[in-house]
Structure formats: C-alpha cells, structure tokens
Structure 1
C-alpha cells in the first residue's frame, strides 16, 4: 500500500471532520527563502512540508550552489540539492540589483516569514536589514542563520558544517580513542541550526498571534552545536576534565556501544543494573553481575576496558543475528548496525510511510524522506519535487503584478 494512503492505527485515526483536513498546519503562510546551501533551505523545506507557500529566490547563474554539489546527480541536479528543496517554488532574481530587490519587496508585502543566511556586513545583509524591513512589514518574522552568531569575535567568520563541527567540539568527541578526530556522518552543524531555527520561526509565529508583530530570530551553527552538547557539557562543568573520544561508547553508561560479532557489529544498550544482570545471565556469565568491578553502572564505567574485553571475547563467537535473537526476547536492548539500503528496505520504515515518491520533470518518480511528524495520524505529503532553477519565475512574478515586458526584463530575456 502506498505510504500516502496507508490508514492510521485505531488509536490515532482522525475523526471524519479531521480527515477532511490535510496535514498542513501552516497552510496560508507565505515564506520568502533567500537562503542557500543546507541550514536555511532545510528550515524552509520543513515549513513547506507543513503547508506553507515557500518561494525560493535564487541567482540566475547557477542558483543554489548545492545544485552542483555532486556527484551523485539525479538528472540535472545534485542529490544534495534534491534533499532540501521539495515543496517550494523557484524564482531567479539578481538580489544585488535594484530591480531584483524590488521584486523581493513585493513578495514581502504579504509574507509571513523570510529566511536568509547572508554574511554579516555583506551588501545583501545591509539591503535586507531587519530594522528597516520591520518598519515596512511589521508582521514579518525574519530568521537569520549564521556560522558563529550575531555577536562575538567570530561574528564575521564564514563557516560550513565541517567548520562548525570542528569549532564547536563535535569532532573532538567523535572517533576512536586512539584515532584522529572524525566528523559526524550527518551535517550536524547545519541540521542542528536548521532545527533550532525552525523552532524559533514557529515560536515567533505563535507569539505574533498574541502581539500582532513579527520579530528578528537568529541562530547559528556554532551555538546550536553547543546546545546539543547536553551531558558532555554538564559533565565538563562538573569535573573540569576535557572529555575524550570513546568511539561508539557512552561517557556515562557501560555497556552501551557497538560490539564485534563473528560477522559484523551490533549495539548493546544497557541503561540499568537490572539490564546488566539480564545481559550477563543471557551470555552465560551471571557472575559478572556479582563482580565488584561491574556490579553497578558507576563500577562498570570505571572498569570499562576490563568489561568490554570480557564481552568482546564472548560475542566474537557468534553472529549478529544470533545475539540479537538471543538478547532481544530477554529485554536487553540490541540492534544490528544497518546500512542505508537495509534501512530503506526495513519493514519499520515502510510501515511509518517515511519514504514517499513525487514526480520530477526530468527524473520521473523521485524518492524523498518525508517530514518526521504526523498530525491527526497523517504525515504531511511530499507535494511537489524540488524545482528546477527558475521553474516558477513567471508564475510568481505574475502574482506580484509584473507584466510580460517587466518579466522579460527581470529575467534577462530580450
């Protein structure tokens, strides 16, 4: 059954009146997207997934740089671009020209949100300064995403995800203890800022319902990474000790990491002393739970290496499937480490409807990972494919009141 039409479970099935309404809580909202790369576009894609009309403004020559960030490509576009731009309309404008800026102002006249990641001090940051915009558009919510934030000695530094992961500590915590620092597999700098930016925008829209006024919302890759340190931060504040890389290990729980079996790796996640007793008994070594080095989690963290050596010696004799089949029925949290092909073939992924298809004008059916929140038991639909460059320029400009001659002039056609 297609993901889009799969019925909800009885517990979450909407009433008939609710079912008549699509899962588009932001329907009627208009968003002007002046951002590029990943953090800003991911925010605006999320707003579009939630029903907002998002107009993506791109430079006529090449558009968003991620269109060329490949291989891999799927049709004319890099798959990187295809990951963060669905459900939007693309318009090409030269934002440094007075005519391009005037067109954006026409968009902002009835817009609810604008998202940008202009470098501080740039001509575009000055041209679309919120203090000026708020006088003309008092209900506008403007989200600015930067590398290091609006203040401080690094304010004017450019930054990409890799720079944020290095500067904000993530790489110092990622990798094997005796290996080099490693970046996270996901773009956690960009995506962390995107998620906090999305929270900021939606919160500002809620507040606007009370006050009638928009506001300036800002976040950065750097500060978002600090917010995600969580227990690493409080551990450092309490001890003053610099944390070190633990591979897949956890700083406060043992055993809680990946372990090698005879044919690959899998994870064991023991979060209590009771679970450790179950694990020890299941592995045929109930005496481990009585060993004073391992009796409590505090002891196990202190004697991490000794316990892991014992576990690895036992686990290496059987397969991943064997250990998961043995431990899971006994309530010990375990899981194989799946590759992406296995993840997208997994029945759980299919049951959740997390992969949807949409028609792309050049590619045909295009798979997309859907928005991960459901409303009334319904997941927001992937409505339209990531647009080709300038696909909607004339439609949007016509909505703004431009005639054919003006459109030709703006779009660089003779």
Structure 2
C-alpha cells in the first residue's frame, strides 16, 4: 500500500451533487480511488457546475468538487441509463448518493437493492435533515442548516446586531470531511474480512452542523444562552491602514497587551484592573481601545503584539492571503491549469499527499461527461453500443 494512494484499485460511484457529497468523494479520488462521477447530461450536469460565475463546464464549486474524478453524463430516468449504472455497481467498493430521501429508492438504487448486487459495498447517503423525521423531505443547503443548527445566531454583525450566515460553505465542507472519515474507516475495517461485508452510512448536514458547533452548543445549553466571555478583549479592530484580529484567553495577557500597544495607563484604570472587571466593563473597554488601534498601523501592532506573545492576525482578503510570504514558505498552495479557465487556479494541497501538479489526474477537474466513452468501454460496451447511447441521449459528453 502506498501512502500517496491508499485507495488505489478501489472503485467509487459518486451520484452526489453540490458540495458535501462531491467533496467527500473528491478526497477518496485524491487518495487513489477511481471515482466515477455520475451526473445528468441535461441542464449543465451537477448543479454545482453552474453556481456563481462559470468557466465552460465549471464554477469554483465544481473545480474543487470534481478534482481527480472521471465524469460520466448519464440519464438515470431511462432504462438504458439504469442498466449502465448497474454495470458500474458490480465490482464497486463505495456508492455515494445525495438525493432527497426516497429519491434514490424510486430510481431503484437504494441500499437494499445495491447491496444485494454487491454485498461488500460501502453505501453512503448524505442529505440535509436526515433520512427520517418530519423534515426529511425538506430541501436544504448549507445556509439553511447554518440557521437551523444555531450557527447563524453566533455570527451577529457588530454594527447591526443581526444574525448572518458564514459566507463560506462551512457545514458542507465539514460534512464532506466527516463523510470521508466514515467511509475511510469502513474500508479499513473491511479489508481484513475474509468475506467482504458492506454497510450503510448516513450523514446529514444537520449532524455536520451540530458536530461543527459542538463546543459552543454545550456551553450555551449548560449556561442557558448566557455564555461567559472567555477572551477579553478580543475581536477585529480597525487600524490606520486596515484591520487586525486580536485574541486573548488568559488573564495574564492583559499586562503584556497594554505594554505592546504602549497604553500602560489602562493597567491603573479600576474598570479594567482585573479579569472580572474587564468582563463587566467590556463594552466600555472596546470604546477606549478602538481609537487607540485606529491610530496605529497594522504592521506596527502585529509586530508589537507578537513580540509580547499576544495572538493576532492581519485581516486579509483572499488575494492578500495568497500573496503572504508564510503561504509560499509552507507550500500549502498549488496553482493549477484547468480547461476553460484563463488563469491558474489556487488549490490548497491536501495534508499527507504530494502537492498538486497541473496535467496529472489528481489535479484535473473533468468537464461534464468527459469520460463517458472510456467508462462505458471499460464496462463492456462496444463502440457501436456507445454510439447508439450517445445518439439516444442516454449519455452525454464524449
């Protein structure tokens, strides 16, 4: 077994769409599995391909979610499409679906049916609210679950006090990693079995959101919503030329903080003299601190705070982050060529794996149906049969 391709030789059928399911399957592909992404040949394929600005067959979402996979554009509403999928199921190790609960069963590919054909298969279902319960059939995406699980209430705007969703696909991405770990550990357990036994794994975005926010959830529940502020002061402060985040969690940080910003007079102010006093008068403290920060540059503050052991970070745009010397020094990013994209695409390298290289399978995001012919040929279809399937629009792409 190669550390760089732990799942080499394994076949994964990925019927999921959006972010959570595809990102999970993408991780399997990055670790060596042959991931066949099955998506409709109609309306642009997986809907993640058309979210936001598009670049031929891709958006930013699908450039990440399809990386390292092969794409088969297949109409599962046709008898021929279903027969093709059954051929793919035979010999598969993992089956991933992300339809609304009940939909995959109507197509005829529920766990009972698939496991009857391939008993050793690891079958993974990802949904919004779960497979059962009063909300199971409700449509859901990341913003909906951020609101439902309580995360939005934690992200109140400083000026308007109104709850806001976190702009990134927070729950989707975390759920993708949860799904990957569940599948990976299942494959690890299965490898020692004389007779391979599969299993059904279920994950919902609701569960992903709960796990993501578990510490704050516990604190809020035990303290009935009146959680103790653990970092005083902390947050984002405007500076003379930008913004900086400051995080303090120990009472002993107060003196070195005041010394760092050259405001030791605060140490004598009875409103802020003790950790408890600062907690009571925190709003007043922010009123005092903000003009002090505004009078200094970000670099001056960062240097002084860091020298005194106070955690801080310049507030960057994504473009500024990508240009940071620390990013280049640690090699955490690769810049990839992708068809249809006029410039190089920044892609974080995956821990434990080699850096991405343009032109390799791992670093390629396939177009819709890019591998349809290849996949069909590998599964026993002749050139004549493949041509007919294209002609009848059962498959798409090339």
TM-score by length of 2: 0.89
8 A contact 1:256–1:269 mirrored in 2: yes
Picking from 102, 109, 134, the partner of 2:83 is: 102
**Partner residue of 2:365?**
386
1:217 to 201, 221, 226: 201
Deviation at 1:386, TM superposition (A): 1.0
> 1:125: how far off?
5.3
Shift in Å, 1:260: 1.5
Cα pair distance change 1:364/1:321, threshold 3 Å: closer
> Does the 8 Å contact 1:172/1:181 carry over to 2?
yes
Q: Is the counterpart of residue 172 in structure 1 residue 153 in structure 2? A: yes
Contact in 2 for aligned 1:130/1:216 (Cα 8 Å): yes
Task: From the superposition, tell whether residues 277 and 144 of structure 1 become closer, same or farther in structure 2 (CA, over 3 Å).
Answer: same
Give, in whole Å, the separation in 2 of the partners of 1:165 and 1:187: 9
- For each residue in 1:318-377, what CA deviation from the matched residue of structure 2 results, as whole angstroms up to 9, or x when unmatched? 1111111222122211111011111111122223333324443444764241343125xx
Question: Aligned to 1:284, which of 262, 271, 287?
Answer: 262
- Equivalent in the alignment of 2:388: 409
**Alpha-carbon separation, structure 1, partners of 2:142 and 2:148:** 10
Q: Does 1:227 align with 2:211?
A: yes
| Partner Cα distance (1:235, 1:271) in 2 | 16
Q: Which of 308, 312, 336 is 2:290 aligned to?
A: 312
Distance 1:379 1:57 in 2: 27
Give, in angstroms, the shift of residue 242 of structure 1: 6.3
The structure 2 residue matched to 1:144, chosen from 101, 125, 136, is: 125
Name the residue aligned to 1:326: 304
Q: Is the 8 A contact 1:357 1:366 kept in 2?
A: yes
Match of 1:202 among 171, 175, 184: 184
* Separation of aligned partners in 2, 1:241 and 1:363: 47
- Structure-2 separation of matches of 1:166 and 1:180: 12
Following TM superposition, by how much is the alpha carbon of 1:303 offset from its aligned partner in structure 2, in angstroms? 2.8
Rate the CA distance shift 1:201–1:68 in 2: closer, same or farther, 3 A.
same
Residues 112-150 of structure 1, C-alpha deviation per residue, up to 9 Å, x if partnerless?
111110111225555111122222212111111000012
Contact (CA 8 Å) 2:336, 2:357: kept in 1 or not?
no
How many residue pairs are counted as aligned between the two chains?
A: 386
Equivalent in 66, 71, 89 of residue 70 of structure 2: 89
How far, CA to CA, are the matches of 2:97 and 2:37 in structure 1? 11
DSSP 3-state at the match of 1:83: helix
Match in the other structure for 2:378: 399
Structure 2 CA distance for partners of 1:104 and 1:207, relative to 1, 3 Å:
same
Q: Give the 3 Å change call, closer, same or farther, for CA 70–389 of structure 1 in structure 2.
A: same
Q: Say whether the 8 Å CA contact 2:57–2:368 is kept in structure 1.
A: no
5+ residue gaps, structure 1: 1-17, 244-249
Task: Return the offset for 1:195.
Answer: 1.6
1:264 aligned partner: 242
Q: Residues 302, 152 of structure 1: CA spacing in aligned structure 2 closer, same or farther, 3 A cutoff?
A: farther
- Describe the superposition over 1:376-414 as per-residue Cα deviations: whole angstroms up to 9, x where unpaired: xx4466633211111111111110011112212333359
The Cα RMSD (Å) is 2.4
Q: Could you tell me how far apart the structure 2 residues matched to 1:298 and 1:210 are?
A: 56
SS of the aligned residue for 2:71 comes to strand
- Distance change >3 Å, CA 175–CA 372, structure 1 → 2: farther
Structure 1 position 50, deviation (Å) = 1.6
Unaligned runs of 5+ in 2: 394-398
Alignment of 1:253 with 2:237, yes or no, is no
The reply to whether residue 49 of structure 1 matches residue 33 of structure 2 is no
Q: Give distance in 2, aligned partners of 1:102 and 1:145.
A: 24
In 2 relative to 1, CA 390–147 (structure 1 residues): closer, same or farther, beyond 3 Å? same
Q: Quickly say closer, same or farther: Cα 1:295–1:142, change in 2 above 3 A.
A: farther
Give the whole-Å Cα distance in 2 for the aligned partners of 1:35 and 1:42: 9
Normalised TM-score (structure 1): 0.86
Query: In 2, distance between residues paired with 1:353 and 1:214?
Result: 38
Farther off after superposition, 168-177 or 157-166 = 168-177
SS of 2:206's partner is helix
